[in-house]
Structure formats: structure tokens, C-alpha cells
Amino acid sequence: MDQVKIGEFLKELRLEKKLTQSELADKLFVSNKSVSRWERGSNLPDIDILIELSRLYGVGLEEILDGQRKDMTTDKIESTALKVAELSSDEQRHLTKNIQIIFIVGLITMTINMLMERFVITDDPIIRFIHGFFEGFSYGTIIVGVIFTSKWALKLNEFKRRIKKKED
């Protein structure tokens, strides 16, 4: 998928609806910066937001993912489903990789901290500083990991809220 092409198409669709980035962000319950990143092609919206954009702009999801208008046929619908699955799995891989990195770094610093605590018995202020740094860093990575995973939990709840809002 060409993110820049998709971004340009999203901008074109927004301008056709005579919406500012702020107005679109308010409709989608996202930040202005998110809309700007989508339109620059540096980031793609989550799948639930892509679906919402498709509805809002009156175009097919396939058209958004291809970055251009076209007619929808049965083959195109299947192609759209495959692209959505690809997008979801890419997001999942990215999330999993980031979480793994955060927790591996935390585990390494925690191990260094434990080894220093057990084998390095000294009152040297530099050694004590390094020990304190690793201890703080390891707890920090755990906290960041928890916050990082919580962010995705919040996104899921936000998606559920949007779906319920549409049903009402």
C-alpha cells in the first residue's frame, strides 16, 4: 500500500466535503495531528477509522486503500477484505514488536541491577549511581510497557463506543 497516495486521496476527499482537519478530527474523536499524519502519508488510520472515513466520504474502503476512485465488484470486495486483513496484521506485528522491545530492555536492566546488587558490594558513589539508574530504568520500562499496552486497550474501547453510538 502506498501511504502517501492514500494520504493525498484522504485529503482530497476531506476537501470535497469542505471539512477542515479540525472538523474531521472532531467527527472521528481523534486529534488534528492524527488527521495531518494520515494526509501526509506518514501514518494510516486504524481500521475502524478507515471504515468511518469510507462512510463519511461515501467511497469504498478499497478506494481509500488504493488511494483512488473505482467501481466496486465482487473481486474488489474480496481484495478489500484482504487489504484490511493485511493492515490489521501489520498493526498487530508493529504493536507486538514494540511491546517485546520494551519488556526485553526492562528485563536486561533488571538483570544487571540484580547482579550488581548481589555481587558488587561497595560504597563507591559512581557504582551506587549506576545501580540506582538501572533500578529506575527497569521500573520505568515496566511502567511504559503497561501504559503502552493500555493505550491499545483504550483504542479498542473507543472503537466499541463508536460502534454503539452508530447503533443508537
Does pLDDT of 139 surpass 90? no
Phi, psi of 123 (to 5 degrees): -100, 15
130 CB burial (10 A radius; 0-12, 13-18, 19+): middle
The pLDDT value recorded for residue 87 is: 61
The three-class DSSP label of residue 122 is coil
The whole-number pLDDT of residue 154 equals: 67
DSSP SS3 for 120: coil
pLDDT tens-digit profile of 13-62? 999 999 999 999 988 888 889 899 999 988 888 888 888 898 888 888 77
What pLDDT band is residue 11 in, cutting at 50, 70 and 90? very high
What is the distance between the terminal CA atoms of the chain, rounded to a whole angstrom?
34
Q: Is 14 left (phi over 0), alpha (psi -120 to 50) or beta?
A: alpha
